[in-house]
A and B are shown apart, each in its own frame.
Chain A
Amino acid sequence: MGAQKKSSAAAAARISDDPEELSRVPLQAVLLADSFTTKFRPITLERPKVLLPLANVPMIEYALTWLESAGVEEVFVFCCAHAKQVTNYLQCSQWLSQPNFSVATIESHNSVSAGDALRLIYERNVIHGDFILISGDTLSNMSLNRALQEHKERKKKDSNAVMTMVIKRSKLSPVTQQSRLGTDELFMAIDPDTKQLLYYEENTNHLKGTLSLDKMLLIDNPSITLHNDMQDCFIDICSPEVLSLFTDNFDYQHLRRHFVKGLLVDDIMGYKIYTHEIHSSYAARVDNYRSYDTISKDIIQRWTYPLVPDVLLFGNSATKLEREGIYRATEIVQSRSAQIGPLTVIGNGTRIGNNTKITNSVIGKGCSIGSNVLIEGSYIWDNVTVEDGCQLKHSIVCDGVVIKSGSVLSPGVVLSFKVVVGQNFTVPAYSKVSLLPQPTKQDSDEELEYADNNSDIETSPIAGAHDNLNGELTSDLTDMQSSAAEELGSGGAGYIWSICEGASEEEWRHSVAPVPAEKLAEISQTIDDDLDFSYQDGNAPASSGELKPGGLSDSDDDDVDANNDSAYFEKEVEATFLRAVHENVKVDHVILEVNSLKLSYNMEFAACAGAIFYSMMKLALGTPYNSSAELYNAVVNVLTSWKRLLKSYLSGKDEEIEIILKFEEMCSELAKELSPLFTKILCFLYDKDMISEDAILDWESEKNYADESDRVFVKQAEKFLQWLREASEEEEEED
């Protein structure tokens, strides 16, 4: 009934608009029912993100309800991963039979990014005018009228204004530098008068204390506003050109990282993006587990009105709002001694046992919760069984999970579908548990993530089977259970996914659990050092800070530039390499990146080899060591694991000599602790065929006439050199 009311209200709004826009095409929207990320794994291996419940209602409901109320008439739901599930869901829902609001699905099985999705939509030729582009996990109650009108007016004046982004103010936590939605800090530069977006940077390097803006920005605009306090709502009003832009630039994948930045940086095309700030309305996107938590709470606290459980009629079960923000469905069996705390949603048909305490949580339909259970800040989906004496804190528990008596879920735990937690088992904090084993190819490289998404699709028939063929599934399950039983205590079923390397540190950032206090303390400690760092950074290369003005103008000379260039190049290579190490980037990709750096800095292969070697040594030095033997081991480790990378730049003797020289330089200047190991490492390099004996001997002869001080390492390596010479002589003799 509520939906009908809304649609009639929307219709009324449409009628009032009509006289102005007689010739208009119906307002269209594209809803991407795939986030093209893996942040919600392992849950999204089995169910698409848009169907995950948010306060017991699937996310896509919120998005569609909002689109309908905002006056959108035609929605294209783009499904990719688990496309069948989405289309099935929509067919069962009322959305396909609404008057004045048509929902059509577009299925694709080979799209790996939002870019691909938009290209496909362009090919289908279904978009005829301005359209709203949102992701299916977006939640909003804003009115689009003003933003649309602004967009249209701008478009009339300047046909290059192709997109309007909706933004909202949101202050970051001063300690974690995260928004309350768990997204990283975002820097935007906006023209205060025209609201044109001039700069957009979301993944800034945390180590860098400064933000670099193109100087041209301020030459073109007398004043710009730099924002760190804005949140991108991921609601875009786009002109049809956006689709063709994606088609023209076939390498655009990510909406923000590629498309927005592409348009901003590359002003040849002259396309402009504008922003629309909303103040009192709500708009947010479920991007990670933390935003899932935050947005759920916002819904319960009614910031998203009318998108709240008691208004949004879903599944024909009425929900009543009681005092202190407790939402109860009608048929709940609750023990008298159970306490239900504030800000809690409890779904239909759920049973709650004696002395159970539930606060700040969402409980789905048909759950059965035993006695003496403590549930705090958790999200429990449908048909979950929680046996007596369990403790659940800040966790997400998906459909059909069984938690046996006495178990404890530590903060940040995610239990995917139908996992069974054994008796008296404590699930460690931030662990993710699924019946499906973790995909072995866990690579954090962006493009591979997309590729992984493809494997989602492969698994999706199985996931689809979950819904349809229960009988078959159970046999599957028992297989899995037997194999995965041990990990979750006696009688448990599921794999605890190992957290991929490097990310374990950051796990708390995006978890449903609040940031632990000790982490906060730790970070605020380190901020001190960060500040120090930023000053150094600010002083060293750019600002006139401590340099004489005269000196500065001189330093613009070319030779200094060249020096700077090579220094910058080295830095960049080092950064690339370190990133590769931390994120497990493939060697081929690193080579590709270094090659592009080489081109952009106009460097020789020798310089690349030197820089890579340098970064490797730095990495080895970075690992903690107590004795030189340990250091040697570290060096050997690094060298062996990245041998292929180094080898690919060692095409000739010159490069090899360059490496030796670089190594020498490092030993004598930067890292004296390496110097005793010089010969040993040189030997190793020789053994592993990275450096040929010719190169070593050439290096020696090059050093023949050098100063005594320069020959320290030649002397150190004398024995080795001797041996080399003899060996080569022998060889010659043999010949």
Chain B
Amino acid sequence: MDFQVVVLAGGFSKTLVPIVSKEVPKALLPVANRPVLSYVLDLLEQSNLKDLIVVVEGNDAAVRIGGWISAAYLDRLHVDVAPVSEDIGSAGALRSIARHLTARDILVVSGDLVSDVSPGAVAAVHRRHDAVVTAMLCSNPASGPAESGSSSAKDKTKKPGRKNIIGLDPSRQFLLHIATGAELEKDLRIQKCILRAVGEMELRADLMDAHLYAIKRAVLLEVLAQKETFQSLKEDILPYLVRSQLKSEVLSSNLPQLEENGNDKVNLQNKQISQSHILANASNRGFHELYPLALDGSSSARRTHKCCVYIASNDKYCARLNSIQAFSDINREVAGEANHLSGYSFSAHNNIIHPSAELGSKTTVGPYCMLGEGSQMGDKCSVKRSVIGRHCRIGSNVKIVNSVVMNHVTIGDGCSVQGSVICSNVQIQERATLKDCQVGAGYVVTAGSEYKGDSLAKKEK
């Protein structure tokens, strides 16, 4: 398909402290007992996109992620892991790997995407419209088919302003306006010239940008080179391209370049142009073509480019693991309603208990739960809507509700864990009660202690 995929896997995200640690970078956080990155990689593999560059912030993280990928995807994918320095933003990351980009179009995916929307479909839309950039959108908040309404409602009330505002044309194919980040705090500013060209713009606050973009390499490289201050793909490059779509500033300077590169390439380009013309004529002509035509004859002087969207249908799952809340939500959902993503087959009780796991008597594991390989549970335990990792030792009379327990965790008798995230190698001693807590790797929760809404982590040595 001549698409090259760049997976932005991030590093040790600060927003996810304490659940990320030196040992576990963001990309390796477990979702239903698999690293979150594996969801993206599997998804790409399904679309036959096998030529990947995984960009990781920081060398340590790169080593860990690289190690994991080469073990898990040996012979399946062709993956280059490219370490970049930290805090340079997504645009910075792309800038530093720019020389590795060779294909005509680049698919940029965030490594924390958990979704079943085919990237191939996005790529197809991108090609069909001969777009400069195509963004994938899905309904907001990140929800599966039957989202447990309460959590999303909570999210909304917490951060009412923290949404994208996206402007679409009436056919919902083109991206006309996007406001992200700090812009959301201000009043909306809609460009009149775009509105005039389209006539009608639908503004949506209920769509989420899934951080999956198909983008023309030539355009991407040009923007990266010209706009040195651009830091973020989503907050700088994409809005810039959307803003300038009726007066394209990109792709102008590289035409002579192409000529230098030899005639055959120009011919190729021409062929593609004529192809896209044929395609465009076959369907209704979009406003991009009509706009310059309407302005009598000066069309040659005015160039436009298209920014397209692919809107995932509502029954698709799409979420990004970019907060602790999202981490527990996604874990719960992948083990629950969106379980087709996990790749496991569920038992009759709608849960997955690894055959090697041991359960004591009168211990119940409810539906939508997961119990990893080699974990042991004592008597009279109760597990509801939780994911428990490998080789955990859980005593008797333990209640685990709405929680994520990673690997090698020891939980003493009579503990109660609710709505919490317990990282690997944590030891929770007897009768401890945790509610809405995050416990960092290797932490020891003393016996009988009670925590509520705390973030517990080992002191850095």
Contacts and interface: CB of A to CB of B under 8 A. Distances in A.
Nearest to A550: B231
Given A215-B184, A225-B200, A531-B247, A544 B190 contact: no
Contacts of B259: none
B206 interface: yes
A552 B182 contact: yes
A545 interface: yes
A357 B160 CA distance: 68
- Give the size range of B's interface with the partner: 35 or more
30 contacts: A187-B192, A189-B203, A204-B192, A209-B193, A210-B189, A210-B190, A211-B188, A211-B192, A212-B187, A215-B161, A215-B188, A219-B160, A225-B202, A225-B203, A226-B167, A226-B202, A226-B203, A228-B192, A228-B199, A528-B298, A531-B193, A532-B247, A535-B243, A538-B189, A538-B191, A543-B239, A544-B183, A544-B235, A544-B239, A545-B239
B364 interface: no
Interface string A591-620: 000000000000000000000000000000
B436 to A, nearest CB: 27
Main secondary structure of the interface of B (DSSP, over half): mixed
A192 interface: yes
Interface in A535-570: 535, 538, 542-549, 552-553, 556
Interface stretch (B93-101, B288-296, B389-397, B448-456): B288-296
B359 interface: no
Contacts of A524: 295-296, 298
A213 B196 CA distance: 16
Contacts of A208: 192
Contact of A546 (B163, B165, B184, B227): B227
A174 interface: yes
Given A215-B184, A225-B202, A538-B243, A544 B192 contact: no
A477 interface: no
Interface of B: 89, 160-161, 163, 165, 167, 179-193, 195-206, 227, 229-232, 235-236, 239-240, 243-244, 246-247, 291, 294-296, 298, 301-302
Contacts, number: 156
A534 B191 contact: yes
A218 interface: yes
**Residue among B165, B189, B204 with the highest chain A CB neighbour number at 10 A:** B189
A528 B248 CA distance: 12
Interface of A: 171-172, 174-175, 177, 185, 187, 189, 192, 204, 208-215, 217-219, 221-229, 520-521, 524-525, 527-528, 530-532, 534-535, 538, 542-549, 552-553, 556
A71 B44 CA distance: 63
B294 to A, nearest CB: 4
Contacts of A548: 229, 231
A218 B227 contact: no
Given A524-B298, A532-B247, A552-B181, A185 B196 contact: yes
Nearest to A548: B231
A210 B192 contact: yes
A274 to B, nearest CB: 18
Given A172-B196, A209-B191, A545-B243, A226 B229 contact: no
B185 A544 contact: no
Contact of A229 (B187, B191, B199, B295): B199
Given A223-B202, A535-B247, 17 more contacts: A174-B294, A174-B295, A211-B190, A213-B203, A214-B188, A215-B188, A219-B161, A225-B202, A228-B196, A228-B201, A525-B298, A534-B192, A538-B189, A545-B240, A549-B181, A549-B231, A549-B232
A225 B180 CA distance: 19
A87 to B, nearest CB: 43
Given A212-B189, A217-B188, A219-B160, A546 B203 contact: no
Given A174-B295, A226-B201, A524-B295, A210 B191 contact: yes
A196 to B, nearest CB: 14
Nearest to A537: B189
B200 A227 contact: yes
B16 to A, nearest CB: 19
Contacts of A187: 192, 195
A214 B163 CA distance: 15
B205 to A, nearest CB: 4
Contacts of A209: 191-193
